Amino acid sequence: MKKQNIKKGILGLFLSISFIGCDDLERFPYDAIEQSQSFQTINDAETWNTGMYATLRGNVYGAFMFPTDIQADQLNATSDYGNRNGNPHRWEGFLADDGALQTIWFSHYAAIKNINAALEGFETISVETAGDQANLDQYTAEARLARAFYYHNLVVRFGNDYDPSSASSDLGVPLELEYDISSRPSRNTVAEVYNQILVDIEAARPGLSDVEGEQGAQRFNIDVLTALEARVKLYMQDWEGAKSAADQLINSGRYPLINNEEDFRSMWVDDYAQEDIMQLFVSAPNELANTNSIYLGYNGATNRFTPDFIPSQWVIDMYSEDDIRKDVYFTTGDVNDTVVVQGVTYTDLIMVNKYSGNPDLWTGANTNYQQAPKVFRIAEMYLISAEAALNISDSQALDPLNELRDSRGLEPIDSSGDGLVEAVRDERFRELAFEGFRLDDLRRWDLGFTRRDPQNIQPLVQGPNYYTKSVEATNPKFTWGIPTNDITINPNLAGQQNPGW
């Protein structure tokens, strides 16, 4: 009798738990974030904000930076590259299901969906103090600025170039501004995407206006907002707006240019932050970033290097011996930098050394290539100011160009017309080499390329799609294709794939 009562009691308890579980399932949908549970207090907003920066750190550098440089004209694949990033480098066989483009598309849209969920959730939080309200306003502003950052990266890679005469009809990327996991958006126009980017930047301005910029900032602030604004307006051909934003940061004096090799090396090795407008937080061993490890491939056991890609000789020759960047961006090419490719030893090959790794972040005896990702640098602002000025007045381009050149150990130039255009473009190449800008710059300038002047053809992959590859400016694959998966599952993208994919 007692056993039966016990069994009945257990059964009743189980049924009551089952009923409670069913009630919860009915109350909270399985296919959406329940905002009232996710965002209840200012602490919830703070936790989400911290996660947003971790996500941002995971969406820069590594596979989010080097594929476009590999696709362009400055690097040659070695025979030991193992076809890693081979499709973008060859252009042939580079399809819309390639991991290089899928990684950026999927990761950026996942981040945007989370931002949309947070922006909706933040509106449900009740705050009790003015301080909490200020914090919530800042978190909201940071979310809006992050969304602008992601959308700019997406439209630059997957949308048409911004042409003021056709932006209102050219295809950009889909805009998703509300959290809806079942949404299947079509592509917005380039003008609509850029307008939304500017809307987000302006919406973020009030919440960040009192957050002062500082060297090596790990969070968004008013200077980071201005840096993004300058970059976006350059791509929009808003020359006055781009120059104004860039000059505002230059004239602030908060980020003086480095003018000696020791400090410049420290910037790239030790994450010395004098020139960095934003440098994301990284900490060993648990909070690490993506790495640009393809350029060295160091083997600590053999003390040898096996890089996937090495720079062409013409790239190295772009830097004079007086240029403090030369011995920082490249290895010296001597017996201390022995390279082994397919079992053959080379002591004279020069490698890209811009991302050798910060020793403070190593997790073992040798480099793990970890560095704090540099999202915005003041040098880029000098280059934006100079390039924008080319379309306003040649004389306005000389000052920012020569200030940057002087800091790097170069003589000033006094050019105009086509000579000045070439000088500004060459300086942009030298300063921002291997930072993911090259392919986008060639497309903006309507330039094709021919890979040329390899250091040594023996360690390189042979064939017409490698160190002699020529690409016309009209090649459609300067713009990446919408990933095949999205084209397949989203009927609203049918017929909206980029040409050539």
Q: Which sequence spans correspond to the domains of the chain? A: 38-73+88-210+474-501, 213-281+379-422, 295-361
pLDDT at 157: 98
pLDDT at 442: 98
Residue 23 has pLDDT above 90, yes or no: no
pLDDT at 38: 78
8 A C-beta contact, residue 208 and residue 129 = no
pLDDT tens digits, one per residue of 170-224: 999 999 999 998 999 999 999 999 999 999 999 999 999 999 999 999 999 999 9
Average pLDDT over residues 5-17: 38
DSSP helix/strand/coil, 251: helix
**pLDDT band at 163, cuts 50/70/90?**
very high
Q: Which residue's structure tokens are 């000098």? A: 382
**pLDDT band at 2, cuts 50/70/90?**
very low
Average pLDDT over residues 258-271: 98
pLDDT tens digits, one per residue of 293-309: 999 999 999 999 999 99
> Which residue type sits at 149?
F
pLDDT at 333: 79
pLDDT at 47: 97
**Fold (CATH) for 38-73+88-210+474-501:** 1.25.40
Average pLDDT over residues 418-422: 97
**200-214, 326-340, 382-396, 485-499: least confidently modelled range:** 326-340
Q: For 189, list phi and psi in degrees, rounded to 5.
A: -75, 165
pLDDT tens digits, one per residue of 378-394: 999 999 999 999 999 98
pLDDT at 25: 38
Residue 366 has pLDDT above 70, yes or no: yes
- Euclidean distance between CA atoms 455 and 429, whole angstroms: 19
pLDDT tens digits, one per residue of 99-153: 999 999 999 999 999 999 999 999 999 999 999 999 999 999 999 999 999 999 9
pLDDT at 22: 41
Average pLDDT over residues 327-346: 92
pLDDT at 3: 41
DSSP helix/strand/coil, 99: helix
- Euclidean distance between CA atoms 20 and 27, whole angstroms: 10
Residue 6 has pLDDT above 60, yes or no: no
pLDDT at 13: 36
- Euclidean distance between CA atoms 342 and 440, whole angstroms: 33
pLDDT at 215: 98
Helices within 190-300 (DSSP H only) = 190-208, 222-235, 239-252, 261-269
Average pLDDT over residues 29-48: 77
pLDDT tens digits, one per residue of 429-486: 999 999 999 999 999 999 999 999 999 999 999 999 999 999 999 999 999 999 999 9
Residue 402 has pLDDT above 60, yes or no: yes
Exposed/middle/buried for residue 389 (C-beta within 10 Å: 0-12, 13-18, 19+): buried
Q: How high is the mean pLDDT of the chain? A: 93
CA-based nearest residue to 499, from 215, 138, 159, 206: 159
**pLDDT band at 26, cuts 50/70/90?**
very low
